[in-house]
Structure formats: C-alpha cells, structure tokens
Amino acid sequence: MTEGAKRRTVLVTGAAVLTVPLVACGGGSGAKSGGQALGDTSEIPEGGGKVFKEQKVVVTQPSKGDFKAFSAICTHEGCTVSRVADGTIDCPCHGSKFHIADGAVAHGPAARPLPAKSITVKGNSIRLA
C-alpha cells in the first residue's frame, strides 16, 4: 500500500468515527418529543414569568395565553437573570432589566435585548423547540 493510500484510509476511518457520535446525539428523546420540557403553563403567571436556570431560559406570559421565551443570560456581562417582576426580567449583577414582551432593554447597563428562544406550548406543557 502506498503512503497516499494509507492516508486516505485513515481519513475515511476518522470521518466514520466522527459521524457516529453526531448521529447518536441527534436522536435523543428530547428531539423526538418536540424538545426539552421546561414546565407547565400554570407556573408562568400572566404579566410575569419564570427563570429556568438549568436550561438558561426565561419564559414569560405578557398577556393571557401569550408565552414568550428568551435567553436567561444577560447581554451585559453574561450573568444569569434572577427573576421576573413588575413586567421586567431582572439581572442581579448590574441592574439590567428587560421587557417581558420582547426581551428589549428596559434599563441598562445592558445595551442589547435578550435573544429570543423558540418554545412550543401544547396543552399545559411548555417545551424548548
């Protein structure tokens, strides 16, 4: 076998090894059931919200039956927001506040809104999409 043939064999073998974990990761139970479960709609008060720290997501309900989700990571310095109160999502580190309806900055020092996250609401279940 030539040196070039040996090299191609290693590359093909390496690609096959790398492909297997990617395929295995794509078929997890969350993907088949519509995403990772966050909670129940009853946990999200109208005009308020809830921070899901483990998933780094905050879910709000600006008006009855209208659920929104945003990253729970503050765009100022990367702290995790701590609560939803009085129509804002609040960061404990430097006092940034974000509107529950769209994640826009209500009070700095953050200059950028919280990025939106995709969720699905089916029945009473809220899931990351």
pLDDT tens digits along 7-37:
444 334 444 333 333 333 333 333 445 689 9
Q: Is the dihedral of CA 81, 49, 89, 118 positive or negative?
A: positive
Expressed as residue numbers, the domain containing 104 is: 37-128
Q: Are residues 60 and 76 in the same domain?
A: yes
Q: Are residues 90 and 56 in the same domain?
A: yes
Give 64-108 as a 3 state SS string: CCEEEEEECECCCCCCECCEEECCEEECCCCCCEEECCCCCEEEC
In Å, what is the CA distance from 118 to each residue of 17, 70, 121?
A: 32, 8, 10
The CATH number assigned to the domain holding 116 equals: 2.102.10.10
Per-residue pLDDT of the chain (129 residues; tens, 9 = 90+): 555 444 444 334 444 333 333 333 333 333 445 689 999 999 999 999 999 999 999 999 999 999 999 999 999 999 999 999 999 999 999 999 999 999 999 999 999 999 999 999 999 999 998
What tokens does 121 get? 């609401």
Q: Are residues 70 and 114 in the same domain?
A: yes
Q: Are residues 71 and 108 in the same domain?
A: yes
Q: Are residues 114 and 73 in the same domain?
A: yes
What CA–CA distance (Å, rounded) separates 44 from 70? 14
Q: Are residues 46 and 92 in the same domain?
A: yes
